[in-house]
Chain A
Amino acid sequence: MFKALALKELREAGWLALVAAGLHLAVVSNLIGLNLFTWLPMFPEKINELPFTGTSFTGPFALVGCVLAIALGFRQSAWEGMQGTYLFLLHRPVARSAIFATKIGVGMVLLLLVNCIPVLWFADWAATPGHYPGPFEWRLTEPAWGWWCGFPLLYLGAFLSGIRPARWYGTRLYPLLASGMLLLVAEFLSPWWTICAGIALTSSVLFATCIRTTIFARDYS
């Protein structure tokens, strides 16, 4: 049952992850000088600064990761409501919380998996002698991992916005706005990573609790 649910979620949301993975790989391939996607506008060219220290990697990485987190969150929550298929899915003989936990589990795995690939690839390239004429330490990747840890927060905010009933779209987006602000605060405090991790973890638990409350309290149509 959970396998079938997970496969359904993968089929419905997996293409978003594939698009994001493609964009990440295009950015990294340009940065490391493969020059496969130089014809694409707005894409960075071969890196000329110490890897991970500027915005040449972190900027596109954060942008693609944030867009993927929001898109995944909405795709897995609001889209099902728009199609009316919640009425079909939620009547199956399984706890409602288990259905949504599976959805979120699949979303999280996709999000974290797709967003760790470019960091690992770029770090591996930078760590390999002869690629970049400068020292490399794994500590340099911390800003990227900071964003990586923050993406789930944005995903949960988007998911909650997608299932939350509201009178109009503006107020529906409050959880997404809140998660976005929390993510920015966490990034601002990233040098103090324990505070940053605490904010991300506490906020994620809060959003997960709100999602659990909402799925039982709302009406489906």
Chain B
Amino acid sequence: MTDAIVTDRLCKSYGGQLVVDQLNLHVPVGTVYGLLGRNGVGKSTTLKMLAGMACPDSGEILLLGEDAARLSPATRARIAYLAEGHPLYKWMTIGQIVAFTRSFYRSWNTDLVDKVLDHFSLSRKARIGRLSKGQVAQVSLTLAIAPDPELLILDDPTLGLDANVRRDFLESMIQIIQRRGRTILFSSHILGDVERVADRVGVMIDGVLRADCPTERFKQAVCKVIVDFGRSPPTVPPLVGLLGDWQLGSRRELVFVDFGVQQQAAIEAMGPVRIEVVALNLEDAFIEYTRGARRPLPIFTGESFDVQGLGAQGAA
């Protein structure tokens, strides 16, 4: 088995609106996978379906090689799921929630729990309802890792946390994921966090997984080309890989996937005064990639969008 998570043509709709559309996701074992997308594009719904908290309309899910619809308790024990907002029983103390959760597992790393709680300076006597959001997230993470899961599904784990707590949480997560073979799938709106920890990213737009490639590959593939014409700019013809086209005075800002020789020649033929290719970080690349496309978006695939093969062939 090489994939910890496999989905096959997964679909889900709410009230007649398709929220997840034909999702084919493959997350290899040992990968840290960041699932990105704007609000309401189906990230949480996807993660809920993976965790068995939402029923797909159609399609199949395999988690650690087992059909998610009939996941055995033994396999479920190998999977941790952190829901958005870290819902825990507010009336319980940390000690009580640890004891409660522990009762469900055969394997439980008590030493690790003690060390992590100590690291976060969390008292076992503290009541969950009186903890800050960051502390609840820390308790939630502690409970998730204590059974030593092979697969972690984290739904926006840093949502609502301040910058310091977020950094602390992520550093803890990085330490945890250093164990070989552990797979993490997480969604987040904080692109800096994703850039820091994810080996691979998937970008969902309107329920469709539009990009699925290594993080570095995504950053390198999406670029902004500023073309200054020194006069009223002409209309840019349809070009392979062109995602966005904005006019700013005498300039045009063009966003490309896999900007190459072919596109450069086409732009030079329009007689510009200056062409500047701007490299983007993950956040800018994501924003440019997902903001109001005016043309059909190219669909990246893992194979054709390989980091080795930067070039126009990656774009559809």
Chain A interfacial positions (CB closer than 8 Å to B): 1, 3-5, 8, 11-12, 83-88, 90-95, 216-221
CB pair A91–B81 under 8 Å, yes or no, is: yes
**Given A3-B103, A4-B103, A91:B87 Cβ within 8 A:** no
Closest to B73 in A: A93
- Decide yes or no: A220 and B87 within 8 Å by CB, A3-B103, A92-B101 being known contacts: no
A87 touches B73 (CB 8 A): no
Q: Is B28 an interface residue when CB atoms closer than 8 A count as contact? A: no
Residue numbers in B under 8 Å from A95 (CB-CB): 73
- B104 near A88 (CB under 8 angstroms)? no
The B contact surface, by secondary structure, is: loop
- Which among B55, B87, B101 is the interface contact of A87 at CB below 8 angstroms? B87
Q: B17 CB to closest chain A CB, in angstroms? A: 14
Nearest CB on A from B49, distance (A): 9
How many chain B residues have a CB neighbour from A under 8 Å? 26
**Contact residues in B for A3 (Cβ distance below 8 Å):** 103
Are the CB atoms of B91 and A88 closer together than 8 Å?
Answer: no
Contact A1 B77 (CB under 8 A): no
Q: How far is the CA of A87 from the CA of B80 in the complex (A)?
A: 11
Q: Contact at A84–B87, with CB atoms within 8 Å? A: yes
Closest B residue to A83 using CB positions: B87
Instruction: Enumerate 12 A-B pairs (CB-CB under 8 Å) in ascending A order.
Output: A3-B103, A4-B100, A11-B91, A83-B87, A83-B89, A90-B52, A91-B52, A91-B80, A94-B104, A218-B55, A220-B54, A221-B48
Chain B CB within 10 Å — which of A3, A217, A219 has the most?
A219
Say if the beta carbon of B76 comes within 8 Å of chain A: yes
Q: Is the CB of B53 within 8 A of A83?
A: no
Chain B positions within 8 Å of A83 at CB level: 87, 89-90
The residues of A that contact B55 with a CB separation of less than 8 Å are 216-219
Known contacts A93-B76, A93-B77; can you find 14 more A-B pairs with CB under 8 A? Answer: A4-B104, A8-B89, A83-B90, A85-B88, A87-B48, A87-B87, A88-B88, A90-B53, A91-B76, A92-B101, A93-B74, A93-B105, A219-B48, A220-B54
